[in-house]
Structure 1
Amino acid sequence: MADIVEVLNRRGGVATFGELRALVPARAIRGALTGGEILRVGKGVYTLPQAPPALAAARSHGGVVSHLSAAQHWGFGVIRKPLLPHVTLRPKQVRRRTGLPCTLHWADVPVLDDVTTPARTVLDCIRTLPLSEALAVADSALRSGGLSEDELLAAAAMVRGPHRRRIQRVAALADRRAESVLESALRAIAIEAGLEDFVPQVLVRDREFSARIDLANLRIRLGLEADGFEHHGHRQALVKDCRRHVNLTIRGWRVLRFSWEDIMYDPEWVVEVVRQASGLPPLTNRILRAA
């Protein structure tokens, strides 16, 4: 007779009473529940204490993990983690009052092991998120190898109904060369501002020097870089980065560097700075802030 914890582990940490009862006696289920080895999270739904919260929430409602929660499941980068798991139910399916707290959606979706497929996950994120967050997921999906460019474009081409044009546009913008979600967000800001001449991960190289710039306008030799908090983890990294910046400068490149706070909380300022550096007129009369 199989052990109840073993059965749950094979099911990703979550199973229904019927699935458990097919392999273990009812008394074993009751004993494991009383002893705290398993938890009851919904009517007829049991989990291990360490089961993935999104999967537990989905099965407690009889649905599947979707949207940002599915993106996390597949290992795609996200800018903001969801406050509650995202779960999709079948159309007209009634939510269960006994289910775990989550954000519910209703749709017919392709599924793999109770999670929306990688392609559907990206399309759902594009449909519901701002461009910066949607592009971060789409870029990461391509970068991770969990989805190919052809697969994403083909899935987007099949979309019908509301948001079709937006989904297809963002799918076409997705680029596997982007190296971080912050870089994707910076590119989204540039795109939304009409500054679409910036190419991801441009290599600057000669016989004595080699470096990549997050985003670069080759025509005017202007680079944009997204610097996360971990950018300078130690003194050696700071020294290396200073040398890199000097080498780019003497080769005719200007590089504007933006922090997480700049990109996520002050995109208007980012746009004004990039426009000024590009020789374009300002969009507003806003005074550029001092450091």
Structure 2
Amino acid sequence: MPQVVDVLLRREGMATFGELRAVVSGRSIRAALSAGSIRRIAKGVYALPAAPDPIAAARAQGGLVSHVSAAVLHGFDVLKLPDKPQVTVPRGQHRRLSPLNCELHWADDVPADGPCTSRLQTVLDCARTLPFASGLTIADSALRGRLLDRSRLMAAAAALTGPGCRRARRVAAAADGRAESPLESALRAILIEAGIPGFEPQVVVRDGGFSARIDLANAALMIALEADSFAHHGTRLALTRDCRRHVSLTVRGWQLLRFSWEDVMFDPTWVVHAIRAAVAGSAGHHNVSLAPTGTLAAAERTHL
């Protein structure tokens, strides 16, 4: 069922039966429908269930929309939508009776932007409470949209105290507005957490009349990493374009590794093994300690 929901999230909350069946089983679709994880909005068309209004929930609790709920309202990309509205209220304030269920957080003197926590506060809240990849995705999106200044984010993260402050500083240090998609941010998070250096986002390769922009690249080793979502690579035209691009990079000496949403989100261990194997086999690689021989093959068997 989580996979069915993830497919709908990648397709902005709606997909046809055929689009779902391309990546998940009919049994999974039926189970998600029975559990209420998805809903049928027309014949052969499915969507995520309608979520409670976060602004109404915040008003009912006398607080502000915050964390991932605020990130969505600010227009930031997120890896996963919250199960229920997230609201921050003043410390000491008790939960009010309300028909709208929500996740409460407590803090004093929180800067606001309308009904939400401010953009900066929202990024910091997410960075200090979410897993690294999710926090980095939101921070990257804020910088990419020029909705936040990186130096200001770094300074604010450095001034934080209390739970999650180190996690927030780590996200702020790694945030990069060049990242073009949530999946790319999640892939970069895997590299950072695995301690694999040398990969930069959105590297441009030019050679004569050929030009290609790579999601993440180590130019010294000529290794390119692509984060491929089905939504952007699921047509025949996209397949033809991607195949030609792959060949063009390969004949120029680049090693191109392409990772799907399922790879990045559900099997990061396999992703790490594959990238380390590519680094170990590159012409410019020297003296790097890697996983024992056979680890990648074992990971591949598990993955398949």
TM-score by length of 1: 0.79
Report which stretch shifted further, 90-99 or 245-254.
Answer: 90-99
Distance 1:258 1:51, change over 3 A: closer
What residue is the counterpart of 2:57 in the other structure? 57
TM-aligned CA deviation for residue 256 of structure 1 = 0.5
Please tell me whether Structure 1 or Structure 2 has the larger radius of gyration of its CA atoms: 1
Which residue pairs with 1:249 in the alignment?
250
Match of 1:282 in 2: 291
1:210-263 CA-to-partner distances (Å, cap 9, x unmatched) read 001100111211111110011224222211111111110111100100110010
Q: CA deviation at 1:107?
A: 0.6
Q: After TM superposition, what 4+ stretches of structure 1 lie above 6 angstroms from structure 2?
A: none
CA-CA distance at 1:97 after TM superposition: 1.8
Instruction: Determine if the alignment matches structure 1 residue 211 to structure 2 residue 222.
Output: no
User: How far is 1:114 from its partner?
Assistant: 2.0
Match of 2:198 in 1: 197
Q: Which amino acid aligns with 1:58?
A: A
Map 1:152-171; keep pairs closer than 5 Å.
152-171=153-172
Partner of 2:150: 149
Inter-partner Cα distance in structure 2 for 1:83 and 1:52 = 9
Aligned to 2:141: 140
Contact 2:52/2:85 (<8 A) preserved: no
Cα offsets for 1:56-82 (capped at 9, x unmatched):
000011010000000001000000000
In 2, distance between residues paired with 1:70 and 1:154?
A: 21
Q: Secondary structure at the match of 1:278?
A: helix
Match of 2:85 in 1: 85
Is residue 106 from structure 1 mapped to residue 106 from structure 2 by the alignment? yes
Paired residue total: 242
Paired letter, 1:174: A
Gaps of 5+ in 2: 1-49, 281-288
Higher mean C-alpha deviation, range 177-186 or range 280-289: 280-289
Aligned-residue CA RMSD in angstroms?
1.8
* Matched residue type, 1:282: A
Q: Which amino acid aligns with 2:266?
A: Y
Instruction: Check the 8 A contact 1:61/1:99 in 2, yes or no.
Output: no
Q: What residue is the counterpart of 2:17 in the other structure?
A: none
Cα deviation digits, residues 29-81 of structure 1 (max 9, x gap): xxxxxxxxxxxxxxxxxxxxx99701000001101000000000100000000
Partner of 2:35: none
- Describe the superposition over 1:122-166 as per-residue Cα deviations: whole angstroms up to 9, x where unpaired: 000011111111110000011112112122112212212232222
Give, in whole Å, the separation in 1 of the partners of 2:123 and 2:227.
23
Post-superposition CA distance 1:168-214 (Å, at most 9, x none): 12101100000000000000001000012110011101222100110
Aligned to 2:127: 126
Give 1:70's aligned residue.
70
Pairwise CA distance, 1:273: 0.7
Supply the AA of the counterpart residue of 2:291.
Answer: P
2-structure distance, mates of 1:275, 1:123: 32
Counterpart position of 2:94: 94
Per the alignment, in what secondary structure is the counterpart of residue 288 of structure 1?
Answer: helix
Whether the aligned pair in 1 keeps the contact of 2:158 and 2:169 (CA below 8 Å) is yes
Q: Percent identity?
A: 56
